[in-house]
Amino acid sequence: MNRIIYIDPIGGIAGDMLLGALLDGGGDEAYLLEQLKKLNLPGWRWRREQTSRGGFAGTKIDFCPEETDTVRHLGDIVDLVTAAAFPEEAEKRILKTFRLLAEAEAKVHNTTVDRVHFHEVGAVDTILDICGSVLLLERADVQTVVCSPLPMGSGTVRCAHGEIPVPAPAVAELLKGAAVYSSPVRGETVTPTGIALLRAYDTTFGSMPPLTVESVGSGCGSRDGEVPNLCRVFLGFGENGASAPLCRLECTVDDMTGEELGYLWERIEAAGANDMYYTPVYMKKGRPAVKITVLAETSVLDDVKAALFRFTSTLGMICVPVERAVLERRFTEIDTPWGKVRYKEAAGFGTAKAKAEYEDIRAIAEKTGRSPTEIRRACDALYDKDKDSR
């Protein structure tokens, strides 16, 4: 099963709002507190309150730390998190979240990642918000995160750098590729922690995907107004594998060489596309040509378009939203007389399949002098035996 969480940021998203929504939706509070106490942080208390925003019930989370003015660098937070010995996947996501924040801050302040001063983001309550949200997401075994378009407030917000426009520069940097719209709310609706958590989970933005809903939760922000300051989450599963929205970009060229087309693929791949292929076609006046087709997620669409315009001779392209159905995939390893071999396993839609990674097969073939076909057959027999014993 593909575990999916759909996030509906009605009034915006922040670390504490997401954490409140996850707890409101049935997150394990005892597990959360047990894990957070592993962090070597100054004393803190927390308050979980059932309240409402705009007449709708939700959970409000507040961490109350003794420390209020410590400034931390990325290295300090990495040390804190790794020393806590969280579950491996949770640790990776937490560190990814903070690294994304550091990279955004470094860019907007024209400095390096290691020199970035985390002010609000390095505060105890913010560290707890981020770690807590990730711990509950990993505890729920979430594999796919989808979020509706983000509401953008207006005006200014006060921080350690003074009064700055909304969205804050670091938030604006992290918003690249996200779907947004204008909200009537005055003030900050998307915080650095909120958008960084979404980015750390490679969130796609769009409408709710097909899923069987298991639980629903609402997290409350600190203020309220004409738009309920709530962030809702819908946790469920899609039995037939993930269904991910993509765009198909197509253009035709009749004046590019094979070498240029080969170079194009490198550039398209670097831009983050999922796939690209060529189709021989005939254009007007009977000219032989090539149709270039690229599949890309919406988060990298602008980069892919830019690469197509820059590295082809085309003057235009079509862009059509499509939806793909994919099997759930994971890697496993088996022991063979020649070393470990990785297998990619896939399942869903009533079928299951597995295939050895070609590079592992090739390496063994080169080492033994046997053909890749022989090695694959031998490994497949060992894989079947290993699978039967699981």
Q: Which whole number is the average pLDDT over 65-73?
A: 77
Is the CB of residue 93 less than 8 Å from the CB of residue 100?
no
The per-residue pLDDT for 238 is 73
Is the CB of residue 74 less than 8 Å from the CB of residue 113?
yes
For 30, residues 6+ apart whose C-beta sits below 8 A from its C-beta are none
Per-residue pLDDT at 243 exceeds 70: no
AA letter at 171 = V
DSSP state of 206: S
The per-residue pLDDT for 94 is 96
Q: Which whole number is the average pLDDT over 133-150?
A: 93
Residue owning tokens 């409402």: 52
The third-level CATH classification (topology) of the domain covering 328-389 is Ubiquitin-like (UB roll) (3.10.20)
Per-residue pLDDT at 119 exceeds 60: no
The per-residue pLDDT for 68 is 65
CATH number of the domain located at residue range(s) 243-325 in this protein: 3.30.70.1380
Q: What pTM did the predictor assign?
A: 0.64
The DSSP result for 157-181, as a single string, is: EEETTEEEESSPHHHHHHTTT--EE
Per-residue pLDDT at 244 exceeds 70: no
Range of weakest confidence among 11-15, 18-22, 107-111: 107-111
Residue span(s) of the chain under CATH 3.30.70.1380 come to: 243-325
Mean pLDDT across the chain, nearest whole number? 89
Task: Place 70 in a pLDDT band, splitting at 50, 70 and 90.
Answer: confident
The per-residue pLDDT for 37 is 95
Q: What burial letters (b/e) apply to 92-104, b meaning 16+ CB within 10 Å?
A: ebbbbbbbbbbbb
The per-residue pLDDT for 159 is 64
Q: Which whole number is the average pLDDT over 235-253?
A: 77
Is the CB of residue 43 less than 8 Å from the CB of residue 275?
no
The per-residue pLDDT for 117 is 66
Digit-coded pLDDT (tens) for 335-349: 999 998 999 888 877
Q: Exposed, middle or buried by CB within 10 Å (0-12, 13-18, 19+), for 123?
A: buried
**In 3-state terms, what secondary structure has residue 345?**
strand
For 266, residues 6+ apart whose C-beta sits below 8 A from its C-beta are none
Element (H, E) at 267: helix 258-270
Per-residue pLDDT at 121 exceeds 60: no
The per-residue pLDDT for 165 is 82
Task: Place 390 in a pLDDT band, splitting at 50, 70 and 90.
Answer: low
Per-residue pLDDT at 242 exceeds 80: no
Per-residue pLDDT at 371 exceeds 80: yes
The per-residue pLDDT for 160 is 57
Q: Which whole number is the average pLDDT over 310-336?
A: 87
Task: Place 122 in a pLDDT band, splitting at 50, 70 and 90.
Answer: low
d(CA 262, CA 208) in angstroms, rounded, equals 37
The per-residue pLDDT for 218 is 98
d(CA 314, CA 34) in angstroms, rounded, equals 58
Task: Place 99 in a pLDDT band, splitting at 50, 70 and 90.
Answer: very high
Q: List Cα–Cα distances, 326 to 93, 118, 289, 329, 347, in angstroms.
A: 23, 39, 31, 9, 9
Per-residue pLDDT at 190 exceeds 60: yes
How many other CB atoms sit within 10 Å of the CB of residue 290? 19
Name which residue leads in pLDDT, 350 or 197: 197
Residue span(s) of the chain under CATH 3.10.20 come to: 328-389
Structure tokens at 208: 């709710």
What percent of the chain has a predicted confidence (pLDDT) above 70? 94
The span from the first CA to the last CA of the chain, in angstroms, equals: 19
Q: Which whole number is the average pLDDT over 25-41?
A: 95
Task: Place 251 in a pLDDT band, splitting at 50, 70 and 90.
Answer: very high
How many other CB atoms sit within 10 Å of the CB of residue 297? 19
Q: Which whole number is the average pLDDT over 88-97?
A: 94
Q: List Cα–Cα distances, 157 to 138, 144, 179, 251, in angstroms.
A: 32, 32, 22, 44
Digit-coded pLDDT (tens) for 146-188: 999 999 988 867 765 567 787 888 899 999 888 899 998 888 9
Range of weakest confidence among 15-24, 117-126, 330-339: 117-126
